[in-house]
Structure 1
């Protein structure tokens, strides 16, 4: 099936020019408009009616598509988006992509048909033609938490690299030398970024990380439990396991408890993503906390800036390390006593 890029190449114009033709933008010359229509006919290209619906009048609604509604991170994010939007007089319509590109596109299409004024997406791993096309439309699109290579839209996300470096230093200071990391999918920007930050920090501290100590999960509890079991069954298991999100940490906890192992005596655990219940189990879980609510608020402000013609620079907020007892003795001044 022909895509908007194919039409642009056939007509000898930019993708943005094709988008302007599809949206009946008066700035396009008649000659260029004819060339684009001829290319569409030659390629049997059917314009996406959903993307073209972005030309409609304001509805005071925003669309939000999250990765996994069962993940506490996304639940808190959605709540912050809804609260901030309501303060500004907007209603939020939400869809759960369930980490599936086809489900994501279903909600993109549905929300565009609902004529939302702008769209916030926590994108899945794939750049779909529909998301690519919407990114070139006249209504604003903001990526939240994650980014997509090759799709140039404003984004709001957290940078955990400094906090990960602090965690590795903390683990090393407690005497841990064999540290494993369970990342999210490398196809997701968050999975790649956290893996790269961990490996960089380990190298800076002179820690050797065997290949079998770096595993890829799917940001869900089942993969956290399965991979933790595999790590613990190694001939030389890690002394500490750092998991790339809260749900995988939950799975790891289930596996460690099932085996009757002590935390941190037999194995230390740490998590990227802090959640309230980490502070209410024994031992309390050391975690990297993202400014989740602020991410949601800033994303709404960014999309409203776009709607009002104001500058829309991407936003990057720092994550922070919260040291508790799950890796060993708590360092002075670091304990979270809330």
Structure 2
């Protein structure tokens, strides 16, 4: 098996540079980082932590690597994972990937070095050599909330297809026809799934899918605000802005308010992802709620089955539409 020196020679960089790349250091040029990743892939280099496998003896700790700790959905998810693990006698060590593959790999490597009994990973868009090697090593590993193409890993996730269909039907019933969608990144499984759900739901309702009404954000508030601005500047702006997650919905809300527009009088607003503060704004925001608590609990149970060496099946939980007044409702609120 190739070692770090062979990787350095293949990439034409120093051993120190390879080490920095493998540890997620920002002090490496993008060119050098790309060369190292290509060499790791070509040589099938497996870091020592993976080669020694996920665990040698029980430590009663689990590792959790999540996408963005500042996102309320992930914060609630992490809390549920921690609570369920504690009930089972385990401690959880959490790493925040900040949606960056190199940071994800840094935390995965660190958790492996700490001999966690199992790993829960909410993967970034990129299939990194380290994650692929973790899968090949066959240790206790479960993907949470997202999946990666080409990797056969037990997963625990939410399917919002039915709830998106209910939302579009609801909006159609209220008389809305021009429904714009701020989607998530197409590189992420959740971004692709929500876009497909929107397209299928619009077609099922007999509504036109206009190219200028669909644009991809990055699951961050700034992208939601920028895209909402472009929607509202169109010669024929949409009647509804449907944001693909709660942070992009927040950005859209900021843009609508900055223009002095009324919700839902001037434009309606809906969100995929429900958060606590949605019921405290005026008007309360219609949203698709993901069962983050149940998602985290089921993920821990699934992982512990893997730790025990038992086979597991994928877990798919349904999302739920929460109808409020931001789309023109008459005051009916669900909780």
Scaled to the shorter chain, the TM-score interval is 0.7 to 0.9
Q: Is the 8 A contact 1:53 1:115 kept in 2?
A: no
Q: How far apart are the structure 2 equivalents of 1:282 and 1:300?
A: 37
Q: What's the counterpart of residue 47 of structure 1?
A: 46
- Structure 1 residues 237 and 152: alpha-carbon distance in aligned structure 2, compared to 1, 3 A threshold: same
| Maintained 8 Å contact 2:219/2:244 | yes
Structure 1 spans left out of the alignment, 5+ residues: 4-42
1:2 Cα offset (Å): 7.7
Secondary structure of residue in 1 paired with 2:119: strand
Alignment correspondent of 1:73: 73
1:256 Cα deviation (Å)? 0.4
Structure 2 residue aligned with 1:37: none
How many Å separate the matches in 2 of 1:45 and 1:225?
A: 42
The answer to whether the 8 Å contact 1:290/1:319 transfers is yes
- Distance in 2 between residues matched to 1:174 and 1:187, nearest whole Å: 33
Deviation at 1:311, TM superposition (A): 2.2
What's 1:198 paired with? 198
1:295 alignment counterpart? 295
> Structure 1 CA distance, aligned partners of 2:43 and 2:245?
44
Superposed CA deviations along residues 164-201 of structure 1, whole A, max 9, x for unmatched, are 00000000111100000001100000000000010111
* Structure 2 CA distance for aligned equivalents of residues 199 and 45 of structure 1: 39
Map 1:252-263 onto structure 2 (within 5 A).
252-263=252-263
Any idea what the Cα deviations from partners look like across 1:218-276, whole Å, max 9, x if unmatched? 00000000000000000100000100000000001100000000000000000000000
SS in 2 for 1:274: coil
Match of 2:92 in 1: 92
Structure 1 residues 256, 44: CA separation in 2 closer, same or farther (over 3 Å shift)? closer
1:322-333 aligned within 5 A: 322-330=322-330
Give the alignment of 1:122-141 within 5 angstroms: 122-141=122-141
Q: State the number of aligned residues.
A: 296
* 1:88-167 matched pairs, under 5 angstroms: 88-167=88-167
Alignment-derived partner of residue 242 in structure 2: 242
| Distance change (3 Å), C-alpha of 1:230 and 1:57 | same
Please give the secondary structure, in 2, of the residue aligned with 1:242: strand
Once residues 108 and 52 of structure 2 are traced to their aligned partners in structure 1, the CA distance between those partners, rounded to angstroms, is 12
Residue 335 (structure 1) aligns with: 333
TM-aligned CA deviation for residue 53 of structure 1: 2.7
| TM-score scaled by length of structure 1 | 0.85
Q: Following TM superposition, where does structure 1 have runs of at least 4 consecutive aligned residues deviating by more than 4 angstroms?
A: 43-46
Contact kept in structure 1, 2:46 and 2:133, CA below 8 Å: no
Query: Quick one: structure 1 residues 202 and 44, their matched pair in 2 at CA, closer, same or farther if it must change by over 3 Å?
Result: closer
What's the Cα RMSD here? 1.6
Is the 1:61–1:91 contact (alpha carbons within 8 Å) kept by the matching residues of 2?
A: yes
Structure-1 residue corresponding to 2:179: 179
Contact 1:62–1:118 (CA under 8 A) maintained in structure 2: yes
SS of alignment partner, residue 52 of structure 2: helix
Contact 2:46 2:130 in 1 (8 A): no
Counterpart secondary structure, 1:65: strand
CA distance in 1, matches of 2:250, 2:50: 39
CA displacement 1:100-120 (0-9 Å, x = unmatched) = 001100101110001101000
Residue of structure 2 equivalent to 1:209: 209
SS at match of 1:135: helix
CA distance in 2, matches of 1:293, 1:242: 24
Question: How far apart, in 2, do the equivalents of 1:44 and 1:235 lie?
Answer: 54
Q: After TM superposition, give the deviation of residue 46 of structure 1 in Å.
A: 4.2
Contact 1:323 1:330 in 2 (8 A): no
Which structure 2 residue ranges, 5 or more long, are not aligned?
A: 4-41
Greater CA radius of gyration, 1 or 2? 1
